[in-house]
């Protein structure tokens, strides 16, 4: 058997996310996880607002407040290749939007407020994505 707890987590994949919300947006269940209450509440409000405005629903959210990330303020880059789009704000804030799996994941640097995250960065990332009907088929070989 593998000795899992000895294995390194260099990518910070397994940061615990004690703030968990499950909300219903229309017929869809939305799961929100974060290690930062302000971020979790902000995303929850964003989901409710988007549902009221009849915008597409992202069903899984996992956002990590990343205390060890660099807080540089270099420009923003949105990078996409159809199925996945990422937003890099400085080097420390990285948001990942997988349209096909309807997931939004990311790390938020200490210098980015929850307010900026939900009012600016996430809408910019989601808004830059093409319509789902334009996406190529998912191939998970």
Partner 1 sequence: MSLVSIDQSALPYMAELCFAGADCYLTTNSADLAEVLQQLSLSLEATDSTRFMMQVVVDETSTEQADNPHFRGLHHVVTASFGHTNVFVFDLLRRTLSANVSSEVAKDSRFWKEKLIPITLGILGSALGLIPVHSACLESEGDGLLIAGASGAGKSTLSVALSLAGFNYISDDWTYLSLRDGVIVAHGTSAPVKLLPDADQHFQALAECSPHISMNGELAYEVDIIETFGVAVECGCEPRWLIFLERVLPPGSEFSKLSSSEARDYLTSNIERLPSQLDKAARNRDQLIEAISALPCWTFRYGGTPQFASEQLVKFVADRRHEVSA
Q: Tell the smallest beta-carbon distance from residue 121 to partner 1 (Å).
A: 10
Return the number of the residue (14 or 26) whose C-beta is nearest partner 1.
14
3-state SS assignment for residue 38: helix
For residues 130-141, one letter each, b for 16 or more C-beta atoms within 10 angstroms of the residue's C-beta and e for the rest, the string is: eeeeeeeeeeee
The footprint of partner 1 (CB under 8 A) covers: 2-4, 6-14, 62, 64, 66, 69-70, 74-84, 86, 88, 90-92, 94, 96, 98, 103, 105-107, 124, 128, 138-141
Between 51 and 70, whose beta carbon lies closer to partner 1? 70
Question: Residue 42: is it exposed, middle or buried by C-beta count within 10 angstroms (0-12/13-18/19+)?
Answer: buried
87, 94 contact by CB (below 8 A): yes
Minimum separation from the CB atom of position 43 to partner 1 (A): 14
> Smallest distance, Å, CB 31 to partner 1?
12
């Amino acid at each position: 058997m593998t000795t899992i707890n000895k294995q390194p987590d260099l990518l910070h994949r397994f940061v615990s996310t004690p703030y968990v919300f499950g909300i219903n947006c229309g017929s869809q269940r939305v799961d929100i996880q974060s290690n930062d209450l302000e971020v979790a509440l902000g995303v929850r409000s964003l989901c409710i607002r988007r549902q009221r405005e009849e915008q597409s629903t992202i069903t899984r959210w996992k956002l990590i407040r990343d205390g060890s990330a660099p807080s540089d303020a270099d420009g923003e880059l949105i990078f996409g290749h159809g199925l996945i789009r990422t937003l890099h704000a400085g080097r420390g804030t990285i948001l990942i939007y997988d349209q096909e799996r309807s997931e939004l994941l990311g790390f938020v640097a200490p210098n980015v407020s929850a307010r900026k995250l939900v009012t600016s960065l996430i809408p910019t990332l989601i808004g830059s994505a093409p319509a789902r009907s334009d996406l190529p088929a998912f191939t998970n070989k």
